[in-house]
Amino acid sequence: MDKQYFIDKAEGALLHTYNRYQKVWDHGDGVYLFDTDGDKYLDFVAGIAVFALGYGNEKYNKAIVSQAERLLHTSNYFYSVPMAEAAEKITKASGMDRVFFTNSGAEAVEGALKTARRYYYNKTGKADSEIIAMNHSFHGRTMGALSVTGKEAYRAPFEPLIGGVVFAELNDLESVKAKISDKTCAVILETVQGEGGIYPATKEFLQGVRKLCDEHDILLILDEIQCGMGRTGTLYAFEQYGIKPDVLTTAKALGCGVPVGAFLTTEKAAALVPGDHGSTYGGNPLVTAAVSAVLDIFREDAVLDNVKESGAYLYETLEAIKQEFPAIIKDHRGLGLMQGIELSVPAKEIINGAMERHLLLINAGESIIRFVPPLVVQKVDIDRMAEILRETLKSI
């Protein structure tokens, strides 16, 4: 197939909001993608931490096809079997009590923010709530999610956004304390900042924020859209901190490719009532069948065990590479299969060089490369990645 034909066709019709690489993907297999020229690429991007099960997983594909042949969509004025099953599985697996299925991570954040404001309104009868978010965070590009994203460059062109948002610093508990007022309804943060540079919250900080929220009767919202669904070695990263959020957002690997997200709440935080929130497609039979299948496969195929083993091996491997190239790699951090290296050169140089050698990587800011491969990645795949990364670093 002529890839330029498809590139030109797309550029002639799409709104130009992405600077896309000049690749047209045809199919995938395991941890590899194949383009229309027939070339094979080792994928350490996984659709930005989405394709946790790798490409061509038979159990997953069978579940999608079976549901598509049976029933794709019904209104949320009715129930469906996949919706009921997925809701029960995700609440049980996460330890949360209630779930609302959305179409994306950004929509999950929107629902979480509305939940917090409704909780405050129910408590005070006032509509003047404030939300504390973190600098350098990323929560999405819809207006509410953008309002709590801690990067001014993302927000500036779209002001005025929703009001009542103030920003503190991740891993600086005093900065959070300083922002709390009698109007604060929630603190929102990523358990591991993704777009902001792969920065995990410290246990001391997250436990401290949980205590502050309890003391002031405000909701703790954890955004685990990228770091959740097994990415860090537990189903949700907060499980490693000895705390529990009041509201949790999840997406990406929740559906492993179909457009689905969710926000989950504890019973206490389940403040929304009929008429407060809705979604035409949210939680339809197709996407919830995918969610249900993903959760089953995680359990049946011991995906989390592989994340722990492969994640530890990836950490050792990147640490070794860091020692070999101290002039280029300034830092290495992360959890499980969500890791990053901070560079003294633009990340694009490494990404482009690796792509020429058939390895796909992605940045997290101008100088950080993140490694978010499918959760089924094996040591042999990590070895191949390391070989190509070393070649690329040597070329610089």
284 near 316, Cβ under 8 Å?
Answer: no
Give per-residue pLDDT as tens, 16-39.
999 999 999 999 999 999 999 999
pLDDT confidence of 337, banded at 50, 70, 90?
A: very high
Of the given ranges (9-13, 108-112, 139-143), which has the lowest mean pLDDT? 9-13
For the ranges 5-14, 62-71, 164-173, the lowest mean pLDDT is seen at: 5-14
Mean pLDDT of 112-140: 97
Domains of the chain: 3-57+302-395 (3.90.1150.10), 71-300 (3.40.640.10)
Residues 366 and 347: beta-carbon distance below 8 Å: yes
User: Which pLDDT belongs to residue 8?
Assistant: 87
pLDDT digits (tens, 9 = 90+) for 216-229: 999 999 999 999 99
Do the strands 98-102 and 130-134 form a parallel or antiparallel pair, or are they unpaired? unpaired
pLDDT at 149 over 90: yes
For residue 256, what pLDDT band results from cuts at 50, 70 and 90?
very high
- How do residues 231-250 score in pLDDT, each as one tens digit? 999 999 999 999 999 999 99
How large is the average pLDDT for residues 125-137?
97
Please report, as a single letter, which amino acid is at residue 313.
Answer: Y
Mean of the per-residue pLDDT values of the chain: 97
Q: Which residue has the tokens 């992360």?
A: 334
The pLDDT of residue 2: 83
- pLDDT for 351: 97
pLDDT in tens, 63-106: 999 999 999 999 999 999 999 999 999 999 999 999 999 999 99
| 43: CB partners within 8 A, 6+ apart | 28, 31, 32, 33, 51, 55, 360, 373, 374
- The alpha carbon of residue 316 and the mean position of all alpha carbons in its chain are separated, in whole angstroms, by 24
Is the pLDDT confidence value at 396 over 90? Answer: no
pLDDT digits (tens, 9 = 90+) for 345-385: 999 999 999 999 999 999 998 999 999 999 999 999 999 99
pLDDT attached to residue 240: 98
pLDDT confidence band for 290 (50 / 70 / 90): very high
| Cα–Cα dist 328/345, whole Å | 7
Tokens of 214: 């309890």
Tokens of 203: 């246990």
Q: What is the percent of the chain where pLDDT is above 70? A: 100
- Residues 248, 308: Cα–Cα separation, whole Å: 22
Is pLDDT at 1 greater than 80 in this prediction?
no
> How far apart are alpha carbons 143 and 276 in whole angstroms?
18
Tokens (6 digits) for 183: 């109007």
Q: Is the pLDDT of residue 197 over 80?
A: yes
CA angle 347, 348, 353 (to 5 degrees): 105
* 193 closest CA partner among 220, 211, 169, 164: 169
Question: What's the order of all strands across the beta sheet hosting 32-35?
Answer: 25-29, 32-35, 40-43, 359-360
Q: What is the pLDDT of residue 196?
A: 92
Query: In angstroms, rounded to a whole number, what is the distance separating the alpha carbons of residues 211 and 177?
Result: 11
Answer whether 227's CB lies under 8 Å from 198's CB. no
The pLDDT assigned to 385 comes to: 98
Q: What is the pLDDT of residue 78?
A: 95
Phi-psi region for residue 348, left (φ > 0), alpha (ψ -120 to 50) or beta? Answer: alpha
Q: Please choose, from the candidates 218, 223, 159, the residue with its C-alpha nearest in 3D space to the C-alpha of residue 190.
A: 223
CA neighbor of 294 nearest in space, from 255, 236, 334, 239: 255
Q: How far is CA 149 from CA 152, 196, 307, in A?
A: 8, 10, 28
Mean pLDDT of the 304-320 span? 98
pLDDT band at 289 (very low <50, low <70, confident <90, very high): very high
**HSE of 78 in the Cβ direction (CA atoms, 13 Å)?**
8
